[in-house]
Structure 1
Amino acid sequence: MATLPPHRHVQGQPPTRPAGLRRVVHRLLTLVAAVAVGAGMLAVPAHAAPSPEEIEAAIDKQWEQLEPTIEQYNKVRAQLKVNRKKSAELQKKIEPLALQSELAMNRVGDLASRYYMTGPSQDIAALLVSTKPGTLAEQLTMLDRLAAQQRKDVEGVLQVRRRYDGEKKKLDALIAAQAKQEKDLAAKKKQINAEIKRLQASMPKTTVKVAGCPTINGVVSTAAQTAIRVACQQVGDPYVWGATGPNSFDCSGLTQYAYKAAGIYLTHHTGDQWNEGRAIPRSEARPGDLVFFYSDLHHVGLYLGSDRMVHAPRTGKPVQVTSIDYMPVAGFRRPY
């Protein structure tokens, strides 16, 4: 049988390849498979890191939920200050009453002791041995009236003292409850700040220039001029919730600080500040009015006119001038 020439295909038998060619084909197939796998991986959408704007929006959204708690904290602290003052005033009133009560009780005790140890005094004995007709009954009636008057005097003092003791007891209970609430809110404040700090940690470091207040035109009272000037001087100061100045503020702390310079005292709580001013329709709002936001009034700013205000926004954002329309306006109040 004749020998076939090399590399010729015999019908009915699989073709043969040299070992070197087989290795090249194997490598090529391996490379193609790797490229295919890589192409598949590239087709999976990548999750990009959030932009600074997205992070700011997330913080703003969370702050909208956190700020009511902050203002509740301010409300409790303001009420606590008022009630502690009331308690101290009551204590001053109770002290002389307590002394009067003690002296009255001492007099009664001395009388009782004297009767017990020595019997009636000579004056009383003289009255009792009188021989005048009807005198004994009159004398006994007199003694009974004297004792009744003594009891009445003592009881009058004790009634007043009990009334003040009762009022003070209620105040002390209220102060204890509010102190506990303040402690609970302080713990929540710590949690809030930790969460805000966590969100801000992912923010790229940037430098932001904050513009000062614009020129104010129109009818502006002397008190409003002072409040605007003082508030604008704080532009760039950091937001610290619970702070009332002079170097850091929260929203109601800034408005309180600004109007305090004008001789007008506002409570460090947005809800109270709403009630401490008179209602002004938006069409009549003028620079110096307080502008409130959200249905629960948990944010406030100092209106500058032309739909702008100076306010302390939130943790991470300093005191600044912004439009009033980026939050839902609840109304305007004039505190003077």
Structure 2
Amino acid sequence: MATMPPDRHAPSHPPLRPIGTRRVVRRLLTLVAAVAVGAGLLAAPAHAAPPSVDEIDAQIDKQWEQLEPTIESYNKVRAQLKVNQKKSADLEKKMVPLELESALAMNKVGDIAAHYYMSGPSQEIGALLVSTKPGTLAEQLVILDRLAQQQRKQVESVLAIRDKYNAQKQKLDTLIAAQIKQRDELAAKKKHIDAEMTRLKGMLPKSSVRVDGCPKIDGVIAAAAQTAIRTACSKVGSWYVWGATGPNTFDCSGLTQFAYKAAGIYLTHFTGAQWNEGKAVSRAEARPGDLVFFYSDLHHVGLYLGNGLMVHAPRTGQPVQVAQISYQPVAGFRRPY
């Protein structure tokens, strides 16, 4: 088949010229890169701003609410230990003459035993004196019946003295055992509290300290309350140290104890005891100088100033200061005078 010749009258098109390939590729890469960077910015996590002083304080306050009962529990055990140590010392003093009296009585029994050495029941008397079994009373009476009336009275006296001495010694031994247990509990609590204190102090910025002075208090106030308020307010700015009772550092019950000690009123260094050492007053009857307690377990206390204010030692990292009582749940008021 013959080939058709080209149509000389067909429209003439200029040849296609390639657009700069390299330039297009560069633009595409630039566009892809820009999209990728934008997507990365959207996906990357934003860096959180560091917590503010108020946020740190709020966090510490929340953790302190859990720690302060442990501190007051420590104060309770320490107060009990102090009482028991005094009882122990008093018992030891009482036992000195009692021990001497017991020794002299035993010498008398020795004379009786010597008298009966050749013909009497010296061995029975010895067994009578050293036996401490509760079931031997009947046997003791039988032996006593064998003795003459005079010797029997002497032996009865010795038994009474010995039993009294042993009873007192048993009390003392029980107290000492309790003291050892309390001492070990204190050591464990102190270790835990110290560790928590170190952790909390590491969170505290210096700028978190805020101290306001005590306001002027008008009205008729009892002399003891005036002294307590004046003493506590003079310590505004003093630092909180757990277990401290002054004169330069305090915990909450240590401050109230220190304030009323200046007024001649002794309070135990433990919130639970201070609650029972004052008479109850209603919130409506509360007046400056009363103690105000917080939380159902009474683990915090302050000195009421009136008008919803108190002076207190709040927690580690904060000094003695004036604050609103409404910032914690109020458990009640007590008047210690």
Report what 1:199 is aligned to: 203
1:28 pairs with 30, 33, 46, which one? 30
Partners in 2 of 1:67 and 1:158 — Cα distance? Answer: 48
Aligned positions of 1:27-66 closer than 5 A = 27-41=29-43, 44-66=45-67
Q: CA RMSD in A?
A: 2.3
Q: 1:164 aligns with which of 168, 172, 176?
A: 168
| Number of equivalenced pairs | 302
Q: CA deviation at 1:34?
A: 3.8
The residue number in structure 2 matching 1:177 is: 181
Matched with 1:312 is: 313
**Residue 91 of structure 1, CA deviation:** 0.8
**Unaligned 5+ runs, structure 2:** 1-5, 7-12, 121-144
Change (3 A) 1:173 1:209: closer
Alignment partner, residue 290 of structure 2: 289
Q: Using the TM superposition, name which of 270-279 and 110-119 deviates more.
A: 110-119
Counterparts of 1:260 and 1:182 in 2: how far apart (Å)? Answer: 25
**Matched-pair contact (CA < 8 Å) for 2:78–2:186:** yes
**Within 2, Cα distance between the matches of 1:38 and 1:108?**
101
The SS at the match of 2:88 is helix
The 5 Å alignment of 1:111-150 reads 111-113=112-114, 115-116=116-117, 144-150=148-154
Secondary structure (helix, strand or coil) at the match of 2:257 reads helix
Aligned-pair identity (%): 56
Report the alpha carbon displacement of residue 45 of structure 1 after superposing the two structures with TM.
4.3
1:177 CA drift (Å): 1.4
1:68 to 2:69 alignment? yes
CA contact (8 A) 2:53 2:208 kept: no
- Distance in 1 (CA, whole Å) between partners of 2:23 and 2:146 is 141
2-side partners of 1:101 and 1:24: how far apart? 112
Which deviates more, 95-104 or 270-279? Answer: 95-104
**For the Cα contact (< 8 Å) 1:227–1:259, is it kept in 2?**
yes
Higher alpha-carbon deviation: 190-199 or 292-301: 190-199
Any idea what SS the aligned residue of 1:283 has? coil
Counterpart residue type for residue 29 of structure 1: L
What residue ranges of structure 1 are gaps of 5+ in the alignment? 10-15, 120-140
Tell me how far 1:17 sits from its aligned partner.
4.2
Provide the rounded CA distance (Å) in 1 between the counterparts of 2:65 and 2:269.
Answer: 19
Q: Tell me which residue corresponds to 1:238.
A: 239
Q: CA deviation at 1:22?
A: 4.4
CA contact (8 A) 2:209 2:318 kept: no
TM-score, with length taken from structure 2: 0.83
**Structure 1 residue matching 2:240: 3-state secondary structure:** coil
CA apart distance, 1:307: 0.7
Alpha-carbon contact 1:219-1:286 (below 8 Å) kept: no
**SS of structure 2 residue aligned to 1:310:** strand
- Please say if residues 240 and 248 of structure 1, whose CA atoms lie closer than 8 Å, have aligned partners that are also in contact: yes
The CA distance in 1 between the partners of 2:118 and 2:66, in whole Å, is: 75
- Alpha-carbon distance in 2 for matches of 1:308, 1:214: 9
* Post-superposition CA distance 1:283-307 (Å, at most 9, x none): 1111100001111110000000111
TM-score (normalised: structure 1): 0.83
Matched ranges for 1:194-233 at <5 A: 194-200=198-204, 203=205, 205-206=206-207, 208=209, 210-233=211-234
1:237 is matched by which residue type in structure 2? S
